[in-house]
Amino acid sequence: MTKASTAVQVRLVRWSEHHAIVMLAGTALVLTGASLWTLMLLAAASFAALVWRCRTHWTISGRFGAANAVTALRLLGVLALPAVAAMSPLAVAGFAVTLFALDGVDGWLARRLGLASEFGEYLDKETDAFFMLVLCVLVYAGGRFGAWILVPGLLRYGFVVFLMLAKPPAVKERRSARGAWMSFGMISALLVAFTPFPIFYQPYALLMTLVLLYSFADSLLDLYRSPQEDGSA
């Protein structure tokens, strides 16, 4: 890893730590009576800071690129979800499905066009995490679940704060296909929760929350595994 890429990764890790604290604080404000738009504004400011701080490292070429543009479009859609929620739960479901369908397009474009970057990876995974958080807050605010449904949305941020405080051997988690499928299952459960069928969405969401907890626990243990244990030595 070059000095430049190491410096970028350190910058991204520091941003993710600050972002996690902002998201946890913003969620707490919403739960204590603040408007959901408070969380949206805080998130928008935090993501804007990420884009600005990494403006010379968006891609290998330095341009923002088509892949990051798709991720940014998804992020703008997530920021608009409270306005969509004012229409109807089914409107949220339809709009969120569209955003969900775009997930993966950015990664495909990055690989196909040779635009993969550390910045793009962080923008993508943090947009996914924010998407899940907003969906969790919306279904909780709609009275469809108890406060436990906020756990999936806050896991990513709690995990980052843990990394910041505990300082394990690895500075960031490894992304895996299994983890991606678990996140896919959790978001799909949240989307189903906007339908009028609690007999389906309640057990599904509970199951996927437990599965996601397992995934994060496994990622946490992975940070402490030696190279010999994971077979990479």
Secondary structure of residue 173 in the 3-state scheme: coil
Tell me how far apart the alpha carbons of residues 209 and 66 are, in angstroms, rounded to a whole number.
33
> pLDDT at residue 219 above 50?
yes
> pLDDT at residue 168 above 90?
no
CA dihedral sign of residues 168, 158, 105, 63 = negative
> pLDDT at residue 74 above 90?
yes
Query: What confidence category does residue 107 fall into, taking pLDDT thresholds of 50, 70 and 90?
Result: confident
**pLDDT at residue 171 in the model:** 59
The 10s digit of each residue's pLDDT in 8-39 is: 888 999 999 999 999 999 999 999 999 999 99
**How many domains are there within the chain?**
1
Is the distance from CB of 156 to CB of 20 less than 8 angstroms?
A: yes
* Range from 52-61, 66-75, 127-136, 200-209 carrying the lowest mean pLDDT: 52-61
Higher-pLDDT residue of 76, 4? 76
**CA-CA distances (angstroms) from residue 122 to 9, 19, 148?**
10, 11, 27
Provide the b/e sequence for 180-193 (b: ≥16 CB within 10 Å): bebbebbbebbbbb
Which range among 92-101, 165-174, 223-232 has the greatest average pLDDT? 92-101
| DSSP calls for 26-88 | HHHHHHTT--HHHHHHHHHHHHHHHHHHTTT-SSTTSS-HHHHHHHHHHHHHHHTHHHHHTT-
Secondary structure of residue 197 in the 3-state scheme: coil
**pLDDT at residue 207 in the model:** 95
The 8-class DSSP code of residue 211 comes to H
Secondary structure of residue 218 in the 3-state scheme: helix
**Closest among 132, 108, 131 to 120, alpha carbons compared:** 108
Is the distance from CB of 26 to CB of 72 less than 8 angstroms?
A: no
Scanning the structure block, which residue is given the tokens 């070429």? 61
**pLDDT at residue 167 in the model:** 81
Q: To 10 degrees, what angle do helices 89-102 and 118-141 make?
A: 170
Full domain range(s) for residue 75: 3-230
